[in-house]
Chains A and B, each alone.
Chain A
Amino acid sequence: MDQPQPPHRVRVTAPRSAARATGASFPVAREMAEQSEVGELFVASLIRSQLRLAVVVAGGFLVILISIPVLLAVFPDINGVRIATVPVPWLLLGLGIYPLVIGSAVLYVRSATRNERRFQDLVDDD
């Protein structure tokens, strides 16, 4: 820090990050979407499959989540059931939801990455 040579410093440290900052890492995608009808079709189908995946995972998670208070409201007897002195609703909400969250997330990341790989294979073949 004790040698005041700002221009050098910028040139030495910046390139690696600057290369990423410019949009240079999307050439295939951009070219495809802009220049060919087939490309536009590929991209549209990628977006559709990613959206479908996200909606399915989110929907499944929400249905399970919201069914808990609904079930408790419909069958209040569940509140009385205890496992090792802890009532079932406390166990479900305090402990049970978290594995579900992480499971959904892992499932999504795997499938989304697979969708992208499939898209990339299509583009490379083309």
Chain B
Amino acid sequence: MTETGTGLDVDPAVGYAALVVVILSTVLIGVYGLRVSRTTDDFYVASRTVRPWWNASAIGGEYLSAASFLGIAGLILVSGVDALWFPIGYTAGYLMLLLFVAAPLRRSGAYTVPDFAQSRLDSLLVRRVTSVLVIVVGWLYIVPQLHGAALTVRITTGLPSWVGPVAVVVVVYLSVLTGGMRSITFVQAFQYWLKLTALAVPVVFILLRLGADGSPVTGGGSAFTTELDTSADASLYGTISLVIALLFGTLGLPHVLVRFYTNPDGASARRTTLIVLGLLSVFYLLPTVYGILGRIHTPELAASGMSDATVLLLPGRIIDGTTGDLLSALVTAGAFAAFLSTTSGLVVSLAGVISQEFFHGSVTGFRRAALLSALVPLGFALLTDSTALAGSVGSVFAFTASTICPLLLLGIWWRGLTDAGAVAGMLTGAVLCGGAITATAVLGPGRGNGLDWLAQPALWSVPAAFATMVLVSRATARRRPASASRVLARLHTPEQR
């Protein structure tokens, strides 16, 4: 990642202005949050007093990552209609979360997935294994965010690539350091609306402009021809496996789960998820429009491997002058907000896990753990090169769907789960899915549909993890914790009216 300014048509001043505004507003809201963050509980979980609308905005702000903001439009540019499965999967993942996890997990009183695993199965080993998996997932998920930041900073300011990731990590660390969960909730709620505005306003201007010029928006339908696709069509297997990964991967994402703990009770956890579904559905229409417009107005980005820059460059390409510059600044700000909010959400939840595991859960330990959770992926991001953002995030979803998702689903709904079964199932899923992803990376991207089963492992690795968990639990039924019925009753019975 040493390549510098690629000479694209964005005025560097615009880029700088956008970055400074986002960073300043994030820090300011963080500092404001510090003043309301008074107890350790505030720090970790905002004392569970966050209202559904705030909470839902914060979940949306945290969830809409680089892959959503930049990656989807880029993927539509490259692979056309097949790319639309990504936003569907990202959204419907929350439906699965609502159906199977939201209310029971909130009632479990667990702050992190390892907490849940320990209280449900009464085993320190399960806790350790889950912690390691959560940390791996979190780190893997932060890396594409930092790659997105590198791309954005390089294109909009011409600065070297490493500046973007370093800036994101510094800002995230400072805001986590000062405010904890309470201020992060405000920051992220703000960032959802910033991201939505940053995509919506330019789209309105672009459509008005195209309408005024009398140029047809979809090029008379030519935007949809498959001749524009530069990648091979996805196979039926690949599509279904991807959908399974995205649907069930969302359940296990560490930063998503922590958010549910800030709801006061199970019913409001459901209400929050319902609002999140609405927010996501509205948001995802926008990157789709960018992708379609990009197929007509910026098709050369697909050939040059810069497709993820579509959202950043499209406004400036269609609208000239100051208006164009302002709109470019707006999308840049939105993109930066995406990296900041997802990364800070992940860092907070990872720091929660790491500090409880290794630093006895004190606030000082939390800060130390936050540093650790941000620096490791930073090093990784600086050493590796960015691939298509949506694709690399897709692999992380497949991994969580094969490891943490079975633990949560069986833990919440099946009293027969044992610690041995949980560990065996998670390790099976981790080895199968991790192995397939690694093998794909080693074999390289220049393959056809023949290796689809390896590139999209979810369709077989998720059932394998579930089956192992059930079979080993059956075989070790004597290890079933005595508290299983009591814990399950607590997960599913409503709170006092």
Contact = CB atoms under 8 A, between A and B. Distances in A.
A, B co-complexed: yes
Interface of A: 1, 9-10, 13-14, 16-18, 20-21, 23, 25-30, 32-34, 40, 43, 46-47, 50-51, 54, 57-58, 61-62, 65-66, 69-70, 73, 82, 85-87, 89-90, 93-95, 97-98, 101-102, 104-106, 108-109, 112-113, 116-117, 119-120
Contact of B494 (A1, A9, A98, A119): A119
What are the nearest 5 A-B pairs in CB distance? A29-B493, A33-B489, A85-B221, A17-B47, A93-B84
Contacts of B413: 47, 51
A105 B285 contact: no
Given A94-B288, A101-B91, A101-B92, A86 B218 contact: yes
A93 B85 contact: yes
Contact of A20 (B48, B224, B236, B284): B48
Interface string B461-497: 0000000000000000000000001101110111111
Contacts, number: 152
A119 B224 contact: no
A23 B488 CA distance: 14
B81 A28 contact: no
A85 B225 CA distance: 11
Contacts of A51: 413
A125 B468 CA distance: 42
Interface core residue of B49, B96, B492 (most chain A CB under 10 Å): B492
A25 B265 contact: yes
Nearest to A97: B88
B321 interface: no
Contacts of B359: none
Contacts of B278: 102
B84 A17 contact: no
Contacts of B490: 23, 26, 29-30, 33
Nearest to A13: B38
B170 to A, nearest CB: 25
Interface residues of B, number: 58
A19 B107 CA distance: 14
B208 to A, nearest CB: 19
A50 B224 CA distance: 42
A94 B82 CA distance: 10
Contact of B493 (A26, A58, A85): A26
B489 A30 contact: yes
Nearest to B497: A120
Interface of B: 35, 38-39, 41-42, 47-49, 81, 84-85, 88, 91-92, 95-96, 98-100, 103, 107, 109, 216, 218, 220-221, 224, 236, 239-240, 243, 247, 264-265, 267, 270-271, 273-274, 277-278, 281, 284-285, 288, 292, 413, 485-486, 488-490, 492-497
B349 to A, nearest CB: 18
Contact of B98 (A70, A90, A105, A117): A105
14 contacts: A13-B38, A16-B47, A20-B48, A21-B48, A25-B496, A26-B490, A69-B236, A69-B240, A87-B81, A90-B81, A97-B88, A98-B281, A108-B98, A116-B493
A27 B497 CA distance: 12
A109 B277 CA distance: 12
A82 to B, nearest CB: 6
A87 B225 CA distance: 9
A28 B489 CA distance: 11
B265 A46 contact: no
Given A28-B493, A46-B492, A105 B274 contact: yes
Given A20-B48, A54-B99, A105-B277, A94 B285 contact: yes
B492 to A, nearest CB: 5
Contacts of B99: 54, 57-58, 108
Contacts of A18: 41
A102 B100 CA distance: 16
Given A9-B38, A51-B413, A102 B277 contact: yes
A94 to B, nearest CB: 5
Nearest to A98: B281
Contacts of B486: 30, 33-34
A75 B39 CA distance: 60
Contacts of A40: 485, 489
B57 to A, nearest CB: 17
Contact of B236 (A14, A70, A101, A113): A70
B270 A104 contact: no
